[in-house]
Structure 1
Amino acid sequence: MPNMDFMNAYQKITRPGADRLLAWLETTDFFTAPASTRFHGAYPGGLCEHSVNVYKRLCALAPEETPETLAVCGLLHDLCKANFYKVSSRNVKDEQTGRWEKVPFYQVEDQFPYGHGEKSVFLIERFMRLKTSEALAIRWHMGGFDDATKGGSYAVSTAFDHCPLAVKLHLADMEATYLDEKRGE
C-alpha cells in the first residue's frame, strides 16, 4: 500500500499521464524498496520515505515553484531505483556466540543500466511530459556525486548555472539524506 504522505503530495501532479505513471509505480517495488543498499533508507519503504523527505525539503527551498513541479521533482527524482534492488543473504559471524548466521542484505540488480538521473527522466517521460527545468533538476539531482561528473564534466555546473531548481533539488536530496534519514550500518 502506498505511503499516505506520498499519495497526498502526488495528488498535486495533474498533468496528462500522471495517473498512468502512478499505476505503473504500483506494479513496481517503489513503495517497499530501500533508498540505498547500506546508507540512508536501507530498509523496506526507505525509497518512498526518502522521496517524501526530499519533497518536503524542496518545498521549503523552492517556494516560488508550482506545487506540481515540487511534487514531480521531489517525489520522482529517484524513480530509477524502482525494481533496482534485490534481497540477498550473506554469512555474518555473531560476535557473542561466534557462530555464523545468514543475514539478509540489499544488493543492486540494475536491469536497465541507463544512469541515475537520466534514467528517472526517461521513466517519467514514458508516461508524462516534464518541463525543461524539471528534467534538468531530476537529471542532475546527484550533483558532483553522479558518475557522469567523474573525469571533469562541466555539464552539472552549466545545468546549475541555468536552472536554480536543479541546485535546489540537489540540496533537498542532500538535506534529506544526511539530516533527516537514519544511515545504515
Structure 2
Amino acid sequence: MGDREEFLAIWHQHVSRPGSEKLLDWLDKKTDFFTAPASTRFHGACEGGLCMHSLNVYHALHDTFFTEGDSEETFAICALLHDLCKANYYKAGTRNVKNDVTGQWEKVPSYSVEDLFPYGHGEKSVFLIERFMKLKIEEAVAIRWHMGGFDDAAKGGCFAISEAYDKYPLAVKLHIADLEATYLMEHRTSAVR
C-alpha cells in the first residue's frame, strides 16, 4: 500500500465528522498534498514527502500516546492534517550543486517556497481545516502549536505556548510526535517505518 492509499484508509476508518469528505475531496483534487514535499531540503524533501511525514506523525502519535479513552478521530485529524499549510506551498525547480567527485557543477532537482497565503504555520493549517469542518478546541490548539519552540510566536517570548501545553496535553503529544517523525524516523528524503 502506498502512502496516499494508507492516508485515505486511516482517514476513512477514523474520520467521519461533518465536512470531512469535502475537506478530503479538496485535499485530493485542489491541492498537491499527496505529491508535495515536506520541506525544501531536509525531512521529506522529495515527491510525496508531505503525505509520508503526515503518516509518520500519525504512527508516532498513535503508537506512543494513544490510550483507552482517547479519540481515534482526534488523533487522525491532528496527525494527518497538522502540516496542511504545506499543501500548494512548494515549487519544484533546480539548483546548482558541485559534484564532490568530478568538481563540476550540476543541476539537481530542488524545491523552493512559494507561499501564496502567508498566514503562519500551525494557524494556517487550522484555518484551512476549518474552511471545511469544525475542530475541537484541543485539536485546534494542538495543530496550532505542533511546532513548539520552533514557531515564530514562541521565539518572541509568547506565553501562549506554555499555557496551551499546560491545558491541552494533546498539543504536547503532537509536538513530540512531529519531532520524532522529523528527526528520528525521516532522514533527508526517505523514511523508515
Task: Using structure 1 for the length normalisation, give the TM-score.
Answer: 0.95
User: Structure 1 residue 4: deviation in Å?
Assistant: 1.5
1:17-66 CA-partner distances (Å, limit 9, x unpaired): 10000011012110001111111111111100110111111112132421
Tell me the SS of whatever aligns to 1:87.
strand
**One-letter identity of the residue aligned with 2:15:** I
Aligned to 1:152, the other structure's residue is in SS state: coil
**Are 1:79 and 2:71 counterparts?**
no
SS of the aligned residue for 1:89 comes to strand
Which whole-Å CA distance do the structure 2 matches of 1:67 and 1:95 have between them?
48
After TM superposition, list the pairs within 5 Å mapping 1:1-185 onto structure 2. Answer: 3-11=4-12, 12-26=14-28, 27-60=30-63, 61-63=65-67, 64-183=69-188
User: For the Cα contact (< 8 Å) 1:85–1:109, is it kept in 2?
Assistant: yes
Q: TM-score if structure 2 supplies the norm length?
A: 0.91
Amino acid at match of 1:121: V
State whether residues 3 and 55 of structure 2, in contact with CA within 8 Å, keep that contact through their aligned partners in structure 1: no
- 2: CA distance between counterparts of 1:142 and 1:30? 19
Give SS of 1:3's match: helix
Secondary structure of the corresponding residue to residue 40 of structure 1: coil
1:2 deviates by 6.6
- Distance in structure 2 (CA, Å) of the matches to 1:164 and 1:45: 30
1:88–1:104 Cα contact (<8 Å) kept:
yes
Q: CA deviation at 1:84?
A: 0.5
After alignment, is 110-119 or 4-13 more displaced?
A: 4-13
Number of equivalences: 184
> Identity over the aligned pairs, expressed in percent?
65
CA distance in 1: counterparts of 2:185 and 2:36, whole angstroms: 18
Unaligned runs of 5+ in 1: none
- Structure 2 distance, partners of 1:164, 1:96, is 49
Checking the alignment, whether the CA contact within 8 Å between 2:96 and 2:105 is kept in structure 1 is yes
Q: CA–CA distance in 2 between the matches of 1:38 and 1:91?
A: 13
Q: How far is the alpha carbon of 1:95 from its aligned partner?
A: 2.9
CA offset digits 1:50-99 (Å, max 9, x no partner): 10111111112132421100110010000000001011212222233333
